[in-house]
Copies of this chain bind each other. A is one copy, B any other.
């Protein structure tokens, strides 16, 4: 009954609106009701362009990953390029935490395909022998997505309730420190480092451990 859209709707427009809702309010903010308001349209119009919510989330994820994959410069030598690509993914998922949960859902989607291609290609350029290339790429991709997803989960918790990162870390670190050193020697000892650590640095340290391990495959 209200006025009809004059400009045509499209999947791109819907995905763009979905990304805005997700970035602003997290995964729970993406509802078809919010979308219809945002786009001043009806449910059917949206369903005419996307199959369902899952399809919409996947398309939004593809979008974010694709822009990382095309945006990152890789004219550096393979080792440095790998670190750059990994950091690019880390930062993108940090900026769009909802991507983290999505990536592990449908590994055959364009998003992950591009990631495998880029990382596999760079490992090849690094001189990893062909027989080990598939396993090495799989392991590295999974590490990158695993950490990034975990980090995104933390980011989600922070935006929801907690005041700020350092206060949150201090709280968890205090819990770790309070644990019985007899039963939890490692976690107890690690509490100080937990409080002070930088997620990005630790992520990169892991990438380096990986690359060092891969170097032994030669």
Whole-angstrom distance between the Cβ of A130 and the nearest chain B Cβ: 8
Q: Which of B108, B124, B142, B209 contacts A172 (CB 8 A)?
A: B108
| CB nearest neighbor in B for A173 | B108
**Segment at the B interface, from A5-13, A65-73, A186-194:** A186-194
List CB contacts (< 8 Å) of A104-143 with chain B.
104-108, 113, 116-117, 120-121, 124, 132-139, 142-143
| CB nearest neighbor in B for A204 | B135
A153 to B149, CA, bound (A): 14
Whole-angstrom distance between the Cβ of A73 and the nearest chain B Cβ: 19
**Residue among A100, A107, A142, A209 having the largest count of chain B Cβ atoms under 10 Å:** A209
Say if the beta carbon of A52 comes within 8 Å of chain B.
Answer: no
**Judging by beta carbons under 8 Å apart, are B206 and A107 in contact?**
no
How many copies are assembled? 2
Whole-angstrom distance between the Cβ of A94 and the nearest chain B Cβ: 14
List CB contacts (< 8 Å) of A154-182 with chain B.
154, 157, 172, 175-176, 179
Given contacts A120-B190, A142-B206, A212-B212, 17 further A-B contacts (CB under 8 A): A101-B101, A106-B157, A107-B150, A120-B187, A121-B185, A134-B193, A138-B202, A139-B202, A139-B210, A142-B146, A145-B146, A145-B150, A146-B149, A212-B213, A213-B213, A213-B214, A213-B216
Measuring CB to CB, which residues of chain A are less than 8 angstroms from any residue of chain B? 100-101, 104-108, 113, 116-117, 120-121, 124, 132-139, 142-143, 145-147, 149-150, 153-154, 157, 172, 175-176, 179, 184-187, 190, 193-194, 197, 202, 205-206, 208-217
Q: What are 24 A-B pairs at a CB distance below 8 A?
A: A101-B104, A104-B150, A116-B186, A117-B187, A120-B190, A121-B185, A121-B186, A124-B185, A133-B186, A134-B197, A138-B147, A138-B202, A139-B143, A142-B147, A142-B150, A143-B143, A145-B150, A146-B149, A212-B213, A212-B216, A213-B213, A213-B216, A215-B216, A216-B216
